[in-house]
Structure formats: C-alpha cells, structure tokens
Amino acid sequence: MLKKINREWAVTIGSALVFITLSLSSPLNVITLYSLGLYSLYQIVAKRKFQYYHEFSVLCLSFFLSHLLHYGIDFNLPTLSYELERKLPFLFLPVLWMNLAIKNIAQYRDRVFLLFSYGMNIIGAFLLLFAGLAFLQTGDFNSFYYHNLVAILDGNAIYYSLLFTISLISLFEAYGKQPNRWILPLTAFNTILIILLSSKLFVFIMVLLYFYYFLLSPKNRLLLITISILAIGVQFLINTENITKRYANVNIERLWTFRQPDISPATHFDGFSLRKELWRMGMELSLQNTNTFLLGIGPGDAQDQLNEKIRSNNMYIGEKGTEDTGFLNYNFHNQYVQTLVEVGLLGFVILILVLIYLIQLGLKNKDKKLLLINLIFMASFLTESLLSRQIGIVAFVGFNALFVIEEKEKLGLKLKRIFDLLFSLTVFVLVLSWLLPILCLLIVVQSRSFPIFRQQRVGLNGKKFICFKLKTMINNKNSDHLAAQVNDKRITPLGKYLRKYGLDELPQFFNVLLGDMSIVGPRPLMVYEEEKFSKVIPHFSSRLSVKPGITGLAQAHGYKGLVNTIFDIRLRYKLDLLYVKNHSLWIDIKIILKTLMYLLKQK
C-alpha cells in the first residue's frame, strides 16, 4: 500500500515538474518529459495495455501530420526538421498522460496544478532575488521589469506571463475548494509578478480573472479586493514610470489603419502596429495561390519568406557588422496566422477543432479551470505565436492532457455501447428473427402461458430494471424469492434444455438495446439475492460499477446457473471484480468467444 502511495506521489511530482521546468532551461524540461515518458512506457509494458485513441489525441496527431506533410517539399529542410522536432509534443504528450495508470485522476490533477503553482512562486522569488541583485549593482529599476525580469533564465516575458496566469487560476480554484491561508499570499505574489512582467494582454486577463472570481465568490470578495489593491498599488509605487510607459506607448490613431504608411528603417512601431504589419504580411503569403492557402508554404519556408517580406517592406533589419538583426526572424505574433501560413487551411481547421473540442469538454464537464485556461490560450493566440516554442507547445498540450485523460474511461464506455448495439442488432437479424418465434411457440404449446418472463433485477450502480427471459418454469409464487434449485420441479422439460444452452437469456438482447444491460458484464441478480449476498460478502454490489451482462467472465469459465454454496458465489464475485478492473473491448470479444465455446461443448 505504501509503495502504491509513493508511486502515485512520484508521478504527481514528476508531472508538476514537467510544467515547472518550462520556466527553466529547455534541456531540463526535456529531461523531466523523458523521465515521465519512460514511466509511462513501463506502465504500457507492465499492463500490456496501450491507450492512444481519443478525440484529443487524434486531433493532436492530425496537427502534427499537417506539418509532417511538408517534409521533402519545403526548400529549407533543416528549419523544417527543427520545427517538426518542436512539434513532437503533439505526437507523444497525449500518449504519455493516457498511459500513466492513475487511479484518482481528479485528485491527481488538482495536486499537479497546486504543486505547479507552488513551483512557479519559487521561480518568481528566484527571479525577484536576481533582479534585486542587478538593481543593487546598477540602481536601475528596469531590472524588475518586462523581459529584464526573466533575463537571468534567458526567458520571454510573454511566456512567463502565461505560466503565472495559469498558476493564478490554479490558486483561485484551490482556495475555492478548500480555503487555505497560505494560498492568499501566493495569489498576491502571482499578481505582482504578472504586473511586473507587464504583458498588456495578460495584465488585462488578470484583471478579468479578479473580476470573475469577485462575482463568483461573495465570501471572498474582501480578500480579493485587498490582494488586488495591495499588489497593484505596490507595483505602481515602485515602478510607476516603466509600467505607465508601456501603456502610453500605444498609438491610438494606428489602431484603425490596416497598413502602416511610409515604412522606413526609422519607423517606430508600438506592439500592436507591429503585429498588424506581421499579420498583413502573413495573409499575403498565405493568399499567394490555392496551394499556399490550402496547405501552407511550409514550416521550413515560412520564416525565410517572412524575412523577405520584412526586407521588401523596408523595415528595420539591424546594422551590418553587429548582432542586431532588427525585425528579422520575428514570427507572425499570431498563432492563427502562423498556422495558416505554415500549414494552410488544413492545419488551421485542425487547430480550431482542437480548441472547439476543449471548450465543449469544459462546458460538458462544467470545468471552470479547463474553460479558463483554454480561453486564455485562444486570446493569447491572437497576439502571440505560442506554438512556435517548446514552452508554449508543452504548456498547451500538457495542461489540456491533464483534463482529457479523465475522458479516456468515458471513451471506453462509448465504444462498449457501440459494440453492444452493433452486436445485438446483428444477433437480432441473423438469429433472433427466426429462432425466437420458434422457441416462443414451443413454450406456449408446452406451458400454455406467455413465453416471455419479466423479473426485477439489480443493475448498474444498484438501479433496478426489468429483465427479460424466456419462460422455463411453471407459474409459481416464489419466482422472485427462490432461485432455481437442483432437480427443481418448477422447471419444465423444455426449460431444462433452454437453460442448459443459455437460450433462455436470448430476450436480454432487448435489455441491451434499452441500455439496461451490456453483452458482457457481471450477471444481474434478483433483488432478493443481491440483498442476501451483500450481507455475507463485503462490498458485493461494487461489481455493479459497470452494466450487468448477458454473459461474463464467470460464465465464460463455466460458473453459471445454480449457486450451490457460498464459495460458489464468492468465486463468481472475484471473477466479476477482475472483469470490472480490467474490462476492455478486446476482453469483451474474448469472453463472448469463450462463452460460445463453453456452450457448444455442453453435453
């Protein structure tokens, strides 16, 4: 038990480190990713079970393939290979998380997010410490501001703003679930860091988050107001000039013009007007011809062609003989435009489908954290090409994979239901359409009564339902309280034959179509039997966490029909639990085949 707990915590800490190390060096992040990947591979080998198919993983794979499509077509193969290497997380991250064999996924996810927030606060303290040392040496408050704050880690203020904003959401959600006094100072510290990093978009998002949680949590309004006023007030007292300069920089007149007039190397761009020029050039590249619009100009060639556009538009490209390259090698600063240029309408549509799927999943599960994180990604994609760097890709795919892994169980149930319906309809057409009328006629002739027997049974999660069977007994008052016995005189001659070959269960295919039963699962018992055995065997009804079946693992091994001793029912219970813990579509098929072989061997 202790080993199991330690293993779960190791996976939790390892997962959190994947996200925390995004703020550190790329090699360190790669090490944590590969370490977690090796554990995931170990689980695949140990359990002999590989899970990949899921809407999210398929969409991620499709997005990667839209880039791979250009291999051998792009002229700049070294750049293309580099871009494909950076997009690899789309290929393997969903697989990594889906095969970690986590028991309590919701608890695991909450712990990962909370540890990530703690880690980001430690990183933030580290950044402020080095900024303070730089300030003591230079006396310049700029050390605490924008890109300078993360220069010690060779970082980018935009990407760090993204990480600290997700950390802030995690703290808000954690405090909402279980108020903790330690979360409040961390929330204030996160707020300070986002303001210091001073990305206009993320500061605006931060204000919206405070407003949202202010409306959402009446009890915590005073705390939220206090934290926000203190955090924002401290920033403006210390760093008023630098912070206000960022917002005074915006040229309002240029907001409404599509193209910057009279561009020269001396032209000054504010953040928004520069982005507009890059977006316009991106659209021109995309709309060159039908091929570039549908399939893109390629991840390898996109940067080269953008650099040519920058030169031809007479923008600043640095000074010869210096390391200053001006606007050369800038990306499009818009993920939607970046994707459209690189992989065309094909890749753009896939990216939109990924976002739509995640938003729908958040709405369906009423998961505020998933919704907020993806709304932030959707908004930041408008001003940044976040998926052009490892930090953005791992953050986008990784954080969302934490929510999607919970859906893999639901996907298995969907596939099981589809299989049940297809199998049942096939049996109806090929077998029941002619066999059931014959058997019903024989029962009517022999017993002079209605051929279908209806009885209340216990189904999924203890819910009672009406189970259908072919009638094998004479009319009696004990049918709901007394199960069939050895040499039971109530069983008719035809009934013995039907029971021997399991033909009396054929009407239960109707129960499968109605959704009360599955083809394979623990056998449903009478209400009386369920209550009786629950008193003798602890947690006996836990086997009904899946739908009951026409056949099951116990029946496939010959344990069907009469229950002679308590040992008999204990054995069936253990086999049922074994199925519940390991059930899959492939196991269902094997049980069906094994059941058929057992019935055909009956003498």
- What pLDDT is stored for residue 478 in this prediction? 62
Residue 361 to residue 441: CA distance in whole angstroms: 50
Helix axes 390-404, 88-98, angle to 10 degrees: 30
pLDDT tier at 2, thresholds 50, 70, 90:
very low
pTM for the full predicted model: 0.70
Q: At what angle do helices 77-86 and 88-98 cross, to 10 degrees?
A: 20
More confident residue, 119 or 192: 119
- What's the CA gap between 382 and 18, in Å, rounded? 26
Q: Is the pLDDT of residue 257 over 90?
A: no
In this predicted model, which residue has the larger pLDDT, 483 or 570?
570
**Distance (Å, rounded) from C-alpha 600 to C-alpha 207?**
70
> What average pLDDT does range 383-405 have in this prediction?
90
pLDDT (tens digit, 9 = 90+) per residue, 413-462? 777 888 899 899 999 988 998 999 999 999 888 888 888 989 999 999 88
Q: What is the average pLDDT across 200-211?
A: 85
DSSP 8-state symbol, 537: S
What percent of the chain lies above the pLDDT cut of 90?
28
Give the pLDDT confidence score for residue 406 in this predicted structure: 63
Task: Kindly report which listed range (44-48, 74-78, 298-302) carries the lowest average pLDDT score.
Answer: 74-78
Residue 362 CA to residue 491 CA, distance in Å, equals 54
pLDDT the model gives residue 1: 44
Give strand ranges (E) for 472-553. Answer: 518-520, 549-551
Q: What is the amino acid identity at position 528?
A: Y
pLDDT in tens, 12-60: 999 999 999 999 878 898 899 889 889 888 888 887 777 666 778 888 9
Is 15 in contact with 96 (CB distance < 8 Å)? no
Greatest mean pLDDT range, 105-119, 211-225, 402-416:
105-119
DSSP 550-598: EE-HHHHTT--S---SHHHHHHHHHHHHHHHHH--HHHHHHHHHHHHHH
Give the integer Cα–Cα distance in Å for 374 and 370. 6
**Which residues, in sequence order, are CB contacts of 345 under 8 Å at separation 6+?**
293, 294, 295
- Pairing mode, strands 452-458 and 464-470: antiparallel
Instruction: List b or e across 137-151, with b for residues whose CB sees 16 or more CB atoms inside 10 angstroms.
Output: eeeeebbbbbebbbb
User: Is 438 in a helix, a strand, or coil?
Assistant: helix
CA distances from 100 to 46, 48, 349, 561 (A): 11, 13, 30, 39
